[in-house]
A and B are shown apart, each in its own frame.
Chain A
Amino acid sequence: MQNRVTNIVIAGLGGQGVLSATDIVADVAFAAGLEVKKSEVHGMSQRGGSVSSDVRYGTQVFSPMVSRGEADFLVVTATDQVPVNQAALSPNGVLIEESQIDASKLTTKKAINVALLGKLSRHLEFTPEAWLEAIRRNFPEKLYEGNEKAFYLGRGEGA
């Protein structure tokens, strides 16, 4: 079988849940039995600076970093961070970003990361149930309901 690696970059500002969003993507792919590598650079991120994180999955993955211009999907949690990260996206890649979500429908603005994952989920091979399980594993239980709503808002079903 051809080894097709899916490259995803999630970016935004420190404190927007960029890293937990990437954790969820990695978790979903891992639970599906794929090889997954996830990479991030943090440190100063909690001081509100730009953050970005990469996930790669497929049957065999080596480098944990997505090369410039090779992201199949670029997910950006703050519209003003799109120009900063645009170069990551491949010419045929899909951009998913903050302004594509109707934020007024979110229970909390913090759930923007999960809403964007909802939108991303339409393009990937995993079921909504698998996504929601990963969301449940990665957030405190009390946030689940809000996140479930956000996920479906992004996915464009219900809520």
Chain B
Amino acid sequence: MKVLLNGDEAVAAAAFDAGVTLGTGYPGTPSTEIVETFEDLGGKSQWAPNEKVALEVGLGVAYAGGRAIVTMKHVGMNVAADPLLTGAYTDVNRALIVVSADDPGMASSQNEQDNRRYAVAAAVPMFEPSDSQEAYDFTLLAIEVSERWHVPVMLRMTTRVCHSKTAVERRENPLPVEPFDYTKNPRVRAMVPAYARIQHKKLRGKLREIAKWCEESGPITRIEGSKKLGIITSGISYQHVRDAAPEASVLKLGLTYPLPIDSIRKFAASVDRCLVVEEGDPYLVEQIRNGGIQVEDKLENFRYGELNIDRVRRLIALDDSPEAEQVPGKPPALCPGCPHRTAFEVLRDLKCIVANDIGCYGLGVLPPFEAVDLSVCMGSAIPVGLGMRHTLPTEQAKRVVSVLGDSTFMHTGINGVIEMLFNPPATGHVVLILDNGITAMTGMQENPGTGRKLDHSGTNKIVFENVLRAMGVKNVHVIDAVANKAEFTKLVEDSMEKPELTVIIARRECLLAVQSIRGWEKANAESCN
């Protein structure tokens, strides 16, 4: 029976049907629903404090003989890159699937990096689904490849695949799990140089075999159309291509690293004009040209943003004319009554230099606040603020305040506190943690500071003020800034004047989450009795 699922749900369904042992990750649009749906289906799921930790937990599961799926948005891959690039050398005993959900066009992200580059950097095979059925099928295929070659595999999705619903047919017990006995084998998993050198060569050999497998029986779709125009494509671009150029011959690649270069060569030779249609970076183009095959690239304009049918038509027609401007819609804003509002009113009125982090509070950059000077990536607010404190003239340095949220503090923000204690600026520093008790931006996920797990049941709660005091931060304050605005204002003002290290935790729950939080807390209190 077919069901309508979005791409994220389809990945979760495949993971569940394949008996995946653990689904983990760190929330991030458009990837978040994978782990959440896996949980809803009955899979064992958890949020990690950040993507690096999630991937490392996944490696452990796969070494120990379980199947693991680890999910993140594209920028999360930057955080997880360290274990990815060495984990790739190691032999996994069972599948390790790393899902990267990219966001071309930045519907909800701070950049539009193209993570297909990571597959090359890490030398891990990469599948790219173009709809939900493929998200389902390729997740299963990725598990098979991962187990056959004992290699972590990347599943690269994009916003439109993650968040489009299309029909999916699920399979019954598609990949039965055989029993497994763990045995010690440091040569393939303890990456000291002597072993890693051997494993690196082995990995290249695995990739050659996988490319060969792909040529023979991998996910390559060839649509025989007109000889005049041949299009090589992958992912969501394939769908736009079929609408934009129904007459064209098409070669769709389901495995985009390593590439089935012979199939590509044959296809390119069979058509008069061979064009590569891909969103984002000229990734396929470069790989294909490296293989010595002449193909036509898209015009530079089409590197930015998402593709769609209309843009693919233009791309094929080499139409470089200005594209119609989108009428600007209503920008998002902090909810009325959001506790972050008070904080930004105060920071604005005190003319602070605000090094901001990534969360709902990112909206403090927009009117009526316009309180923010900069924001880069998760966990950056404190270190960037410290760098500014080290550099600006004293009168300005004193006004630098680093602002971050609770989930971000647990993610990588806490590293900035370590740096602050290690290398304190002469003027001291002021950090403001906007603790709204939830990871709001991505749709209300739990984090290690909430004291609740992914399914909202209770767990150890990391109490920020205790941690900060134990670390040695001299001034740690906890305040409800909304209820005590004048006091909060004075606290920020006084802290900026002191050449000391101060962390102010502004604690008040996210207005949209508060009712749910009360409910979960009540349920957990009752289950303790």
- Determine whether B90 belongs to the interface, using a CB cutoff of 8 Å to chain A: no
CB distance from B364 to the nearest CB of A (A): 12
Contact for B308 among A40, A46, A65, CB less than 8 A? A65
- Determine whether B42 belongs to the interface, using a CB cutoff of 8 Å to chain A: no
- The A59-85 residues at the B interface (CB cut-off 8 A) are 62-65, 67-68, 70, 80-81, 83-85
- At the interface with chain B, which of A29-37, A102-110, A120-128, A148-156? A29-37
Distance in angstroms between the alpha carbons of A85 and B309 in the assembled complex: 17
Closest A-chain residue to B329, C-beta based?
A50
Distance in angstroms between the alpha carbons of A48 and B330 in the assembled complex: 8
Contact, CB under 8 Å: A40 / B163: yes
Contact, CB under 8 Å: B335 / A47: yes
Distance in angstroms between the alpha carbons of A38 and B239 in the assembled complex: 13
Interfacial chain A residues near B165, Cβ < 8 Å: 23, 26, 36-39, 64
- Determine whether B298 belongs to the interface, using a CB cutoff of 8 Å to chain A: no
Contact for B327 among A23, A40, A63, A84, CB less than 8 A? A84
Interfacial chain A residues near B242, Cβ < 8 Å: 62-63
Q: How many A-B residue pairs have CB under 8 A?
A: 107
Contact, CB under 8 Å: A27 / B332: no
Distance in angstroms between the alpha carbons of A37 and B335 in the assembled complex: 31
- Determine whether A93 belongs to the interface, using a CB cutoff of 8 Å to chain B: no
Closest B-chain residue to A83, C-beta based?
B327
Interface size on A, residues (CB 8 A): 36
Interfacial chain B residues near A86, Cβ < 8 Å: 327
CB distance from B104 to the nearest CB of A (A): 11
Contact, CB under 8 Å: B239 / A49: no
- Determine whether A41 belongs to the interface, using a CB cutoff of 8 Å to chain B: yes
Contact for A62 among B240, B324, B329, CB less than 8 A? B240
Distance in angstroms between the alpha carbons of A44 and B327 in the assembled complex: 18
Interfacial chain B residues near A39, Cβ < 8 Å: 160, 163-165
Contact, CB under 8 Å: B334 / A63: no
Interfacial chain B residues near A91, Cβ < 8 Å: none
Contact, CB under 8 Å: B308 / A63: yes
- Determine whether B286 belongs to the interface, using a CB cutoff of 8 Å to chain A: no
Interfacial chain A residues near B241, Cβ < 8 Å: 62
Contact, CB under 8 Å: A67 / B309: yes
Interfacial chain B residues near A41, Cβ < 8 Å: 107-108, 159, 163
- Determine whether A140 belongs to the interface, using a CB cutoff of 8 Å to chain B: no
Interfacial chain B residues near A47, Cβ < 8 Å: 332-335, 360, 363
Contact, CB under 8 Å: B512 / A46: yes
Contact, CB under 8 Å: B329 / A63: no
Contact, CB under 8 Å: A36 / B363: no
Distance in angstroms between the alpha carbons of A23 and B164 in the assembled complex: 11
Secondary structure of the A side of the interface? mixed
Contact, CB under 8 Å: B327 / A87: yes
Contact for A49 among B30, B310, B329, CB less than 8 A? B329
- Determine whether A13 belongs to the interface, using a CB cutoff of 8 Å to chain B: yes
Contact, CB under 8 Å: A49 / B332: yes
Closest A-chain residue to B166, C-beta based?
A37
Interfacial chain B residues near A63, Cβ < 8 Å: 236, 239-240, 242-243, 308-309
Distance in angstroms between the alpha carbons of A64 and B134 in the assembled complex: 14
Interfacial chain B residues near A83, Cβ < 8 Å: 327
- Determine whether A158 belongs to the interface, using a CB cutoff of 8 Å to chain B: no
Contact, CB under 8 Å: B330 / A13: yes
Distance in angstroms between the alpha carbons of A46 and B333 in the assembled complex: 9
Distance in angstroms between the alpha carbons of A36 and B167 in the assembled complex: 7
Distance in angstroms between the alpha carbons of A75 and B327 in the assembled complex: 17
- The B19-35 residues at the A interface (CB cut-off 8 A) are 29-30
Closest B-chain residue to A29, C-beta based?
B4
CB distance from A77 to the nearest CB of B (A): 12
- Determine whether B331 belongs to the interface, using a CB cutoff of 8 Å to chain A: yes
CB distance from B138 to the nearest CB of A (A): 17
- Determine whether B176 belongs to the interface, using a CB cutoff of 8 Å to chain A: no
Distance in angstroms between the alpha carbons of A22 and B156 in the assembled complex: 26
- Determine whether B205 belongs to the interface, using a CB cutoff of 8 Å to chain A: no
Distance in angstroms between the alpha carbons of A37 and B30 in the assembled complex: 18
- The A39-57 residues at the B interface (CB cut-off 8 A) are 39-50
Distance in angstroms between the alpha carbons of A86 and B492 in the assembled complex: 47
- Determine whether B367 belongs to the interface, using a CB cutoff of 8 Å to chain A: no
Contact for A26 among B4, B324, B331, CB less than 8 A? B4
Q: Mark B296-309, 1 if CB is under 8 A from A, else 0.
A: 00000000000011
Distance in angstroms between the alpha carbons of A37 and B443 in the assembled complex: 24
Closest A-chain residue to B130, C-beta based?
A62
Interfacial chain B residues near A14, Cβ < 8 Å: 332
Interfacial chain B residues near A85, Cβ < 8 Å: 327
Contact, CB under 8 Å: A45 / B4: no
Distance in angstroms between the alpha carbons of A64 and B6 in the assembled complex: 11
- Determine whether B179 belongs to the interface, using a CB cutoff of 8 Å to chain A: no
Distance in angstroms between the alpha carbons of A75 and B98 in the assembled complex: 38
Query: Which residue among B243, B329, B512 has the maximum number of chain A CB atoms within 10 Å of its CB?
Result: B329
Distance in angstroms between the alpha carbons of A62 and B309 in the assembled complex: 10
- Determine whether B328 belongs to the interface, using a CB cutoff of 8 Å to chain A: yes
Interfacial chain A residues near B309, Cβ < 8 Å: 63, 65, 67, 70
- The A88-134 residues at the B interface (CB cut-off 8 A) are none
Closest B-chain residue to A41, C-beta based?
B107
Q: A43-B108, A47-B335 are in contact. Are A35 and B324 (CB under 8 A)?
A: no
Closest A-chain residue to B159, C-beta based?
A41
Contact for B330 among A50, A62, A64, A87, CB less than 8 A? A50
| Residues of A in contact with B (beta carbons under 8 Å apart) | 13-14, 23, 26-27, 30, 35-50, 62-65, 67-68, 70, 80-81, 83-87
6 closest A-B pairs by beta carbon, nearest first, are A50-B329, A43-B108, A49-B332, A47-B332, A64-B164, A62-B242
Given contacts A30-B4, A40-B163, 6 further A-B contacts (CB under 8 A): A41-B159, A43-B30, A47-B335, A48-B330, A64-B165, A68-B308
**22 A/B residue pairs, CB under 8 Å, sorted by A:** A26-B4, A36-B166, A39-B160, A39-B164, A39-B165, A41-B107, A42-B163, A43-B29, A43-B30, A43-B108, A43-B442, A47-B333, A47-B360, A49-B329, A50-B331, A62-B243, A63-B240, A63-B308, A64-B164, A64-B165, A81-B330, A87-B327
| Residues of B in contact with A (beta carbons under 8 Å apart) | 4, 29-30, 107-108, 131, 159-160, 163-167, 236, 238-243, 308-310, 324, 326-335, 360, 363, 442-443, 512
